Amino acid sequence: MPFSPQPSPARTASHRRPWLSSLASTCALAALLLTGSSHLGQASAALMPLSSPSAPQPRGTLQEEILRLLDKPEALPREADWARLGPEALSALLGLASDPKASEPQRSRAVAAMAVVAHPDASLRLQELLRSTSQPSSVRAAATLALGRRAGLEAIPVLAPLLADPNEQVRATAAQVLGRVGGTEVRKALEERLPLEESRAVREAIQQGLSYIEP
């Protein structure tokens, strides 16, 4: 259940931090990624918006197939769509995710697809992306979501340190994803971080993450 920022302060803060406008969408997408739901709402599309619609591409090369899938209206990648492309798809997705000439939404969608691509090294590559401070915050946030979906409980040691990341969007996203993963270890990490967090929006994300965890 995505949190709703308080009207006046949050609106003022969003002028300084544009990512706040999509934080509720991040919360919703975190829930979808970690449950594997195929039901998509406007929230998931808001986090990784599509570029201008393009004409459907015929099936052809691997690159064409990847671009076609990334251009589909669903923001949440389906495992069945990507499994048939085989492990070779990972390299192409990594190339697109790291391409500074590509738009951030397309790069984020490529990262999201890495959650379901059929390659044993996908989790490792996602970790490299989310730890790279040279990547845009939206790409790192997408990598955080994707790793949570792909690795579940095994992602906790990687995601927990992100609660102290310099970037607010990454901290907030990590709090949401960790909350969805759940467990005693996660609860402790979120509770310890809460009094140290200076950002109001991130504190609310931490509190929301805690609300996901069963007592």
Q: What is the pLDDT of residues 4-50, one digit of tens each?
A: 333 433 333 433 454 444 444 444 454 444 444 333 222 333 333 33
Sign of the torsion angle spanned by Cα atoms 10, 11, 14, 19: positive
| Ramachandran assignment for 214, one of left (phi > 0), alpha (psi -120 to 50 degrees), beta (any other) | beta
Q: Say how far residue 203 (Cα) sits from the centre of its chain.
A: 18
Which span out of 7-11, 52-56, 122-126 was modeled with the highest average pLDDT?
122-126
Residue range 176-194: mean pLDDT, rounded: 95
Lowest mean pLDDT among 2-16, 49-63, 130-144, 175-189: 2-16
Confirm or reject CATH 2.70.70 for domain 7-212, answering yes or no.
no
CA distance 165 to 86: 33
| Residue 186 main-chain phi, psi, to 5 deg | -70, -45
Q: Where are the domains of the chain?
A: 7-212
Cβ distance 117 to 82 under 8 Å? yes
Write the CA distances from 198 to 109, 118, 185, 202, 208, integer angstroms: 30, 39, 22, 8, 16
Q: What is the pLDDT of residues 129-158, one digit of tens each?
A: 999 989 999 999 999 999 999 999 999 999
- Residue 37's pLDDT is what? 34
Listed in sequence order, the residues at least 6 apart from 46 whose beta carbon sits closer than 8 Å to its beta carbon are: 22, 25
Residue range 152-165: mean pLDDT, rounded: 96
- Residue 60's pLDDT is what? 57
Buried b or exposed e, range 152-170, using 16+ CB within 10 angstroms: eeebbebbbebbebebbbb
Lowest mean pLDDT among 74-78, 103-107, 183-187, 192-196: 74-78
Cβ distance 174 to 166 under 8 Å? no
Write the CA distances from 81 to 66, 143, 194, integer angstroms: 10, 19, 39
CA distance 7 to 166: 25
Determine if the pTM surpasses 0.85. no
Lowest mean pLDDT among 13-22, 78-87, 182-191: 13-22
Cβ distance 193 to 164 under 8 Å? yes
- Residue 153's pLDDT is what? 94
Please give the mean pLDDT across all residues of the chain: 78
191 pLDDT higher than 60:
yes
Angle at 189 between CA 4 and CA 208, to 5 degrees: 15
- Residue 73's pLDDT is what? 66
